[in-house]
Amino acid sequence: MLGEKIKKNYKSIVEKFEKKESALISLLYEIQKENNYISDGDISELSSLIDMPYSRIKSVLTFYTMFNQKKTGKYHIQVCRNLSCSMSGARNIINFIKENLKINEHEVSDDGLFSYTTVECLGACGSSPVVMINDTYYENMDEKKLRELIDKLRKE
C-alpha cells in the first residue's frame, strides 16, 4: 500500500521532469523510502496514479538492483564483491556479517535491524573494501570498524 507521503508528493516529483516517464525511478525510490520495499500492490496503485501500465513499472522495478522487492532490515548492508574489494578483504567482511548477525544474503536479522547483500563495484575502489549501508558509503572497512559501526547503529 502506498504511504501518505508519496500520495501527497508524487505530482511534484513528476513535475520536476520534462516527461513523466523520466520520473519513474525517482517515484520508486520514494515508495521504497517510505515502505522499505516495493510490493506488487504498490505498483498497481502507482500505475493508476500516474497512468502508466503495470507491466512497464514492474519491468523497470525488476531490472534495476537497487530496488528492494522484499523487506530488508532497517539497516541494509551492501558489501562490494568486485575485484579490488575482494583483493583487500571483502570476504572477511562478509564472513563477519554472517557469523555475527547470523544472516545469509537477503535475510533479515531476527530483531529486524540488519540485512545484507553483496553488490558489484561501488566506484570507490581506491579505498576498498567498501560497504554501503542504506544511502551511505563506508570506505576502508575492516572487521573492527564494522563491529563498531554495527554497535553504533544498534544503539540508535
Partner 1 sequence: MKIILEKELFDIKTYITNGGYNAIKKALTMTPQSVIDEVKKSNLRGRGGAGFPTGLKWSFIPKDKSQKYVVCNSDESEPGTFKDREIIHKNPHSIIEGMIIAGYAIGATKGYIYIRGEFVREARIIEKTIYEAKESGYLGKNILNSGFDFDITVVRGAGAYICGEETALLESIEGKQGKPRIKPPFPATKGLFSSPTVINNVETLAAVPYIMIMGGEKYSRIGKEKSSGTKLFSVSGPVNKPGVYEIELGLSFKDFLENYLMGMKDGVKLKAVIVGGSSVPVITADEAMKVNLDYESLSQAGTMLGSGGMIIIGDNQCMVEALYILARFYHHESCGQCTPCREGTGWIYKLLSEILSGKCKEKDIDLLYEIAENMMGRTICPLADALSMPVMSFVKKFRNEFDKHIEGSCEICQR
Partner 2 sequence: MPKINVDGKDLIANDGESILNVCERNGIYIPRYCYHPSLSVAGNCRMCLVEIEKMPKLQTACSTIASEGMVVKTDSEKVRKARKDVLEFLLINHPLDCSICDQVGECFLQDYYFTYGLRKSRFKLENKNQKQKRREVGKYLVLDNERCILCTRCVRFSNEVTKTDELFVNSRGDRAFIDISPEKGVTNKYSLNIADICPVGAFTSKDFRFKQRVYMLQTTKSICTLCATGCKINIWHNNNTIYRITPEPNIYTNTWMCDDGRMNYKIVNSSERLTHSMINGTEYNKRQTVKQVFNKLSKAMDDKLRIAVVLSNYLSIEDNISLIYLAKNVLKTPYIFSIESNQQKIEDGILINSDKSPNSNGIKLLVKKYGIKDISEYAEYDIVIGFYEDIKNLRISLVKTILFSYKKSSYPCLIALKTYFETDGSFINWQGYLRKTAKVVNSPENTFDLHHFLMEVSHLFAVYPDFNFKGIIKDLKYKEEGQ
Q: For binding to partner 2 (CB under 8 A), which residues are involved? A: 40, 44, 53-56, 58-59, 62-63
Interface of this chain with partner 1, residues 68 to 87, rule: CB under 8 A: 81-84, 86-87
What residue 128 binds from partner 1, partner 2, none (CB within 5 to 8 A, per partner kind)?
partner 1
In the complex, what is the shortest distance from the CB of residue 69 to partner 1, in angstroms, rounded to a whole number?
12
All three cell numbers of 24, joined, read 519513474
Contacting residues for 144 by C-beta, under 8 A, at least 6 apart: none
Place of cell 523497470: 60
Q: For partner 1, which residue of 8, 19, 144, 155 counts as binding (CB under 8 A)?
A: 19
What residue 54 binds from partner 2, partner 1, none (CB within 5 to 8 A, per partner kind)?
partner 2
Place of cell 539497516: 75
Contact status: 47 vs partner 1 (CB under 8 A): no
* Amino acid type, 100: N
Q: For partner 1, which residue of 60, 113, 149, 153 counts as binding (CB under 8 A)?
A: 60
Contact status: 29 vs partner 1 (CB under 8 A): yes
Q: Give the binding-site size for partner 1 (rule: CB under 8 A).
A: 42
Contacting residues for 63 by C-beta, under 8 A, at least 6 apart: none
Alpha helices in 1-110 (DSSP H): 4-15, 24-35, 40-50, 54-63, 83-87, 90-101
Q: How, if at all, do strands 114-119 and 75-80 pair?
A: parallel
> Which residues contact partner 1 (rule: CB under 8 A)?
16-26, 28-29, 52, 56, 59-60, 63-67, 81-84, 86-87, 119-128, 132, 135-137
